[in-house]
Amino acid sequence: MQRALVTGANSGIGRATAIALAEAGYEVFGAMRSLEKGAKLIEGVRERGGTLHPIELDVSSAASVTRAAEVVAAQGGPLDVLVNNAGIAHNACVEDVDIDAAKEVFETNYWGVIRCVQAFLPGMRERRQGQIVNISSVAGRIAALGQVVYSSSKWALECLSENLAQEVAPFGVRVVVIEPGVTRTAILPKNLGHPEPTVYGDAYRRMLHFYARGIKADVQASEVAAVLLAALEDPECGFRYTCAWSGPELCEGRSKLDDATWIALGDQPDDAAYHRAFEAAFGLDIRPPENG
């Protein structure tokens, strides 16, 4: 039985992934900051008859990661799969950024990944096998309006993943990047606000229009988990897997968009013009749903 650890496994994509892996026959370590938040994960795995070990792990704490690695090693040795999923969102335009809060985003979304890789990679490297899955975002491929800190953390994760993939290739270890678009998880309602007062109201409002459309699309975390599981078993051993609402459109669209057109998106005189320009660039209708 292969052994997998999923960070941020108490909710959203992390929980769906832990459940999917357990159902597929993996021995799963469901890592979370507080075990008190793991009831739904435990129940989800129990219903499917899988093997789950809830484990306390705060990726922003080096000591916590070290303790978790020791627990995993004591329960059977090295991992076969590490899923770096734990992440936090943050809305801000550059002028509005609270630097202290922004540092917390990077502690989880970027440094947390490095801490976990440093803790669990050696066992994979020594056995010359293993897979590291980093949950990025389409915001790691496109500068998400009104989300400069979150998007930057995911851009950094994309770079980390490209570097890591080359570094560990000689040791038989594979790196996978999952890039979800908008997925209906608990992180969305927690991240609807933005700094006030601000002169960037247009940017924040247009950002929320985008997410409102994504919420209406109602892509569930289980769909992302299914893509992740398929990636682990992909005989082609791909690197990037884009999924969920807006994922393929944004990643492919931005690669074809010249910089002048991208910048001009921000200079649209009103929301209607912005929506038209966005749809022309990416093929996505982000006008607010009629019901709100």
pLDDT band at 257 (very low <50, low <70, confident <90, very high): very high
**Considering 26, 110, 150, 211, which one is annotated as catalytic?**
150
pLDDT band at 188 (very low <50, low <70, confident <90, very high): low
Q: Is the pLDDT of residue 190 over 90?
A: no
Q: CA separation (Å) from 5 to 106, 180, 181?
A: 21, 20, 23
CATH topology of domain 3-202+218-245: Rossmann fold (3.40.50)
Q: Is the pLDDT of residue 209 over 60?
A: yes
Q: What region does 286 belong to: left with phi over 0, alpha with psi -120 to 50, or beta? A: alpha
- 73-114 pLDDT, tens digit each: 999 989 999 999 999 999 999 999 999 999 999 999 999 999
The pTM of the full predicted model, rounded to 2 decimals, is 0.96
200 is catalytic: no
Helix and strand counts by DSSP (H, E) for the chain: 11, 7
Task: Report the C-alpha gap between 114 and 112 in whole angstroms.
Answer: 5
Q: What is the largest CA-CA distance in the chain?
A: 60
- 143-154 pLDDT, tens digit each: 999 999 999 999
Q: Is the pLDDT of residue 37 over 70?
A: yes
Task: Report the C-alpha gap between 140 and 2 in whole angstroms.
Answer: 29
Domain map of the chain by residue range?
3-202+218-245
